[in-house]
Structure 1
């Protein structure tokens, strides 16, 4: 793997670390609390991220070389096996493997064609290149139904595959813009991350929430997120206290917005690709 691919891989892994190290995430694993989870903690996530090193760079390479969705899928299956091995069977990053693997692949395709990145177009590129195959892969015989597939069948909510086939609309219409806006308003990386996360929770039909709490649980979580935003979000003077209270409430309902957490990681990855653009003075050579 070339140094540039390793750099892309490191950006993706750093984005995952940035998400897990964020405090006061309602229902999610943080350094100081396990959220609504009894089988994982921060160390579990760190072990998982370590096991995923090389995967995102591999997806970038596959996209650069014009590979098909089935090639990205094979990389994803291998990454899932590495994750489960590192976590003793705990699902820490399955959603992120799917989401950020596709984004890394699209970034590779983009770089192969233009010699730079257009991060806000990555979702549309995923939809255009692989959208049909992404949907077809979910209904093939022998494919084990996921929680998201069960939720889609029960409630009609779009799952990760549908979000991907549509170009990740919530990621690019809400998560990334809210992260960028909060940073531009002077928020710290911690504040901007939490603001983008809660903004995403208010919009995303998160199948993780629906799996745990049904439609009522999802709707409660979205209303609670909207309330945090209406109270000033991370720009309120007592924002940390408000966030901690929301964490306690999510834990009491045993709800965890894992899909929104994946989008936060992806938003930081997109943000890092935009920053990387400014350093690309000339195309990087690859051996195809």
Structure 2
């Protein structure tokens, strides 16, 4: 049974996901401006509701990690089984969040294995978990795995097995933006754009192909090169980028899922304090 510490980690992960959903304007992604989801094809309120369905599964993942005590093949298999059950529960609640579940599940388990770890230490532990294959996973490859194989992209598995490099880069971007005086929303948007600027997003590769992916990466870099979202030129570039992606109906959902992981890892000192209370 999950402990108070496990439940605190799960709550922190769900809070990170809902904070990501509430952030605006996110280029091409669901946010509070688009409740009808005409462009993103996702009802923002429905996504916020279904995010809550992740909590029991994430708490169970934390409990499994704490009980196992090591990033073993057995733990990887147990996390996979819990993840598939959680996907089903989220589907019943309205769906979505598959990429966020993968990222948050591994990071929650890593945080439970190493309660004092922060930042890159958490992603390094997640890397050790992801290094093991999930032998009970369905044989039929997912769309993301198929796209990864077609284009040679790392995909979600590759990102995890590399220790979530985009989470680490975004954490650095978040800290730099805060130090430079950006407000919290601007700092988080800069972190998102940092991910988008280099991520080989399999969702974008599926919908827009390699040229579309490079177009999105270049658009994200243009905002950052203009000083980021806290600068006047960067803010204007962000609006243009957002308008462009919505017009094309291109949604970089892989970047959104990773931003949820960034916000979770960033919250860990507060999450640990909550669990200890």
Cα distance between partner residues in 1 of 2:139 and 2:175? 37
**Which residue in 2 is equivalent to 1:153?**
149
Alpha-carbon distance between aligned partners in 2 of 1:23 and 1:235, rounded to the nearest angstrom: 13
What do the CA deviations read for 1:49-72 (whole angstroms, capped 9, x no partner)? 121122222211111111611111
Deviation at residue 266 of structure 1 after TM alignment: 0.5
Q: Check conservation: 2:222, 2:237, Cα contact below 8 A.
A: no
Give the TM-score normalised by structure 1.
0.87
* Cα separation, 2, equivalents of 1:243 and 1:274: 31
Which whole-Å CA distance do the structure 2 matches of 1:180 and 1:188 have between them? 11
Q: Which moved more, 1:76-85 or 1:122-131?
A: 122-131
Check if 1:251 corresponds to 2:253: no
Contact kept, 8 Å, 2:193 with 2:220, in 1: the verdict is: yes
| Pairing 1:228–2:235 present | no
Native 8 Å contact 1:27 1:35 kept in 2? no
Q: CA deviation at 1:210?
A: 0.8
Q: Residues of 2 paired with 1:182 and 1:35: CA distance? A: 32
Partner-residue secondary structure (3-state), 1:68:
helix
Distance 1:284 1:32, change over 3 A: closer
Between 1:65-74 and 1:262-271, the stretch displaced more is 65-74
Once the two structures are superposed, the pairs formed by residues 258-273 of structure 1 within 5 Å of their partners are: 258-273=253-268
Structure 1 distance, partners of 2:164, 2:203, is 16
Aligned to 1:25: 26
Shift of 1:176: 1.2
SS at match of 1:54: helix
Quote the residue 2:106 is aligned against: 102
Superposed CA RMSD? 2.1
Runs of 5+ unmatched residues, structure 2: 69-73
1:235 counterpart SS class: coil
Instruction: Write out aligned runs for 1:29-48 (5 A).
Output: 29-33=30-34, 34=37, 36-38=39-41, 40-48=42-50
For 1:130 and 1:199, the matched residues in 2 are separated by 23
Please state how far the C-alpha of 1:284 moved relative to its aligned partner.
Answer: 5.7
Pair 1:168 & 2:164 matched:
yes
Whole-angstrom CA distance in 2 between matches of 1:284 and 1:24: 35
Looking at structure 2, the residues matched to 178 and 274 of structure 1 have their Cα atoms a distance apart, in angstroms, of 19
* Inter-partner Cα distance in structure 2 for 1:246 and 1:130: 34
Question: For the Cα contact (< 8 Å) 1:76–1:98, is it kept in 2?
Answer: yes
Partner of 1:216 in structure 2? 211
In the other structure, the counterpart of 1:196 is: 191
Tell me how far apart the structure 2 counterparts of residues 217 and 75 of structure 1 sit (CA, whole Å): 34
Contact 2:205 2:212 in 1 (8 A): yes
The answer to whether the 8 A contact 1:107-1:119 is kept is no
Alignment-derived partner of residue 8 in structure 2: 7
| TM-score in terms of structure 2 length | 0.90
Pairing 1:119–2:123 present = no
Q: Write the deviation string for residues 136-156 of structure 1: whole angstroms up to 9, x where unpaired.
A: 66xx6x433222112112211
Q: CA deviation at 1:241?
A: 3.9
- 1:71 paired with 2:78, answer yes
